[in-house]
């Protein structure tokens, strides 16, 4: 941290700040200018108290961070990106581009198995599907719960696909982790810090979606919660943010994908289904995601979207997922990420 003192601050007030910096566990390095003094405070904020409160002192003009607040997530010092391994599949770094696909909600055995077979045929390595569903209205379909987990386990056994599913509550972490290869933390829970730590403790890789109104820094700090709890297997997922635009469900922030890849060493994937809220835009957004450097896609697929119990308007049908793969493949090859 850099502590900038007000111009003309007398020496005894400078010494007070230096003493406080030492007291808080940092090594102060004062830089005495002709007009203004600044103090460089060297130390790890994870082990010491924050210095930001010094901004309230009358002789302090500003307290400025030199390093990023996310220490474990940051790119610095990393020569290669983190590769997450789940169900024998590697994600991130220079590994092949990955496809995770399946229904928004697990609705029945027939629906799930039909979808699972289709997405595997299309080239997916993971089956996504919600057993527990967070819905804005309490009257909407909330998922099959534990029965949904049983069906996901059945689909995994039959197809060999890895499972990605959302965990909504700390009390469900163990049950979800017993079936899922990757635990998804959804947009609504991306700053539920107790859940982040509980999910991290499961030892399963965590797929962390960006919140509806999250800044990139907040998204990366949420990942920091997982990593600081001892779980370094984190996948970031951009799924669109809420803006003034109403033509689409959310605004897909491709700039955030590029920024997250530059700022962190973690894999970043894109959910074009949640971003668009419209099936007819999913393929175009998927091509863009590959081009901007994403490590994979998380796509919603349903055998009959018109009959889906949740978000049918944004789910591809079985022909649609095959077409998506055909259209993004040239982009994947151009990016050097073909399997």
On whether both 129 and 214 belong to a single domain, the answer is yes
Q: Are 261 and 293 in contact (CB under 8 A)?
A: yes
> What is the span of the domain harbouring residue 154?
84-334
pLDDT value of residue 186:
96
On whether both 13 and 147 belong to a single domain, the answer is no
Q: Is 69 part of any domain?
A: no
On whether both 95 and 57 belong to a single domain, the answer is no
The CATH number that applies at residue 138 is 3.20.20.70
Full-model pTM: 0.86
What phi, psi does 269 have (nearest 5°)? Answer: -120, 170
pLDDT value of residue 137:
82
Q: CA 122, 163, 211, 141: dihedral to nearest 10 degrees? A: 90
Q: Is 79 part of any domain?
A: no
Residue positions counted in the chain = 339
The CATH number that applies at residue 21 is 3.30.70.1140
Tens digits of residue pLDDT in 237-284 = 999 999 999 999 999 999 999 999 999 999 999 999 999 999 999 999
Q: Where are the alpha helices (DSSP H) in the chain?
A: 11-23, 109-122, 146-159, 173-177, 193-201, 216-228, 254-263, 272-276, 279-292, 318-334
Tens digits of residue pLDDT in 163-181 = 999 999 999 999 999 999 9
Structure tokens at 117: 């077979």
On whether both 6 and 115 belong to a single domain, the answer is no
Q: Which residues have C-beta within 8 Å of that of residue 11, sequence separation ≥ 6? A: none
Nearest alpha-carbon partner for 216 in 255, 273, 173, 169: 255
Structure tokens at 297: 């896609």
For residue 273, CA distances in Å to 39, 105, 238, 246, 282 come to 49, 13, 11, 15, 6
pLDDT value of residue 46:
64
* pLDDT above 70 (res 47): no
Instruction: Look over the chain and give the mean of its residue pLDDT values, rounded to a whole number.
Output: 93
């Amino acid at each position: 941290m850099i502590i900038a003192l007000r111009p003309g601050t007398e020496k005894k007030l400078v010494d007070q700040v230096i003493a406080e910096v030492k007291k808080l566990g940092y090594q102060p390095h004062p830089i005495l200018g002709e007009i203004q003094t600044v103090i460089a405070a060297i130390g790890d904020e994870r082990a010491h108290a924050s210095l930001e409160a010094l901004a309230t002192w009358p002789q302090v003009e500003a307290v400025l961070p030199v390093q990023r607040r996310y220490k474990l997530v940051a790119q610095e010092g990393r020569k290669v990106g983190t590769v997450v391994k789940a169900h024998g599949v590697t994600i991130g770094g220079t590994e092949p581009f990955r496809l995770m696909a399946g229904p928004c909600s697990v609705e029945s055995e027939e629906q799930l198995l039909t979808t699972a077979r289709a997405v595997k045929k299309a080239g997916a390595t993971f089956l996504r599907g919600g057993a527990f569903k967070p819905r804005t209205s309490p009257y909407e379909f909330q998922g099959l719960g534990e029965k949904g987990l049983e069906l996901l386990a059945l689909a995994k056994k039959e197809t060999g696909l890895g499972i990605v599913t959302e965990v909504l509550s700390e009390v469900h972490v163990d049950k979800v982790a017993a079936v899922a290869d990757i635990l998804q933390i959804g947009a609504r829970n991306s700053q539920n810090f107790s859940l982040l730590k509980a999910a991290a403790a499961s030892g399963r890789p965590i797929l962390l979606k960006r919140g509806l109104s999250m800044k990139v820094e907040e998204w990366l700090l949420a990942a920091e919660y997982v990593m600081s709890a001892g779980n370094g297997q984190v996948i970031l997922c951009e799924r669109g943010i809420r803006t003034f635009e109403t033509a689409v469900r959310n605004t897909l922030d491709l700039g955030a994908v590029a920024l997250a890849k530059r700022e962190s060493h973690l894999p970043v994937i894109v959910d074009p289904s949640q971003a668009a809220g419209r099936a007819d835009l999913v393929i175009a957004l998927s091509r863009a995601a590959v081009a901007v450097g994403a490590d994979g896609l998380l796509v919603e697929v349903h055998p009959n979207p018109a009959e889906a119990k949740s978000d049918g308007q944004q789910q591809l049908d079985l022909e649609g997922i095959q077409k998506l793969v055909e259209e993004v493949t040239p982009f994947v090859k151009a990016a050097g990420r073909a399997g």
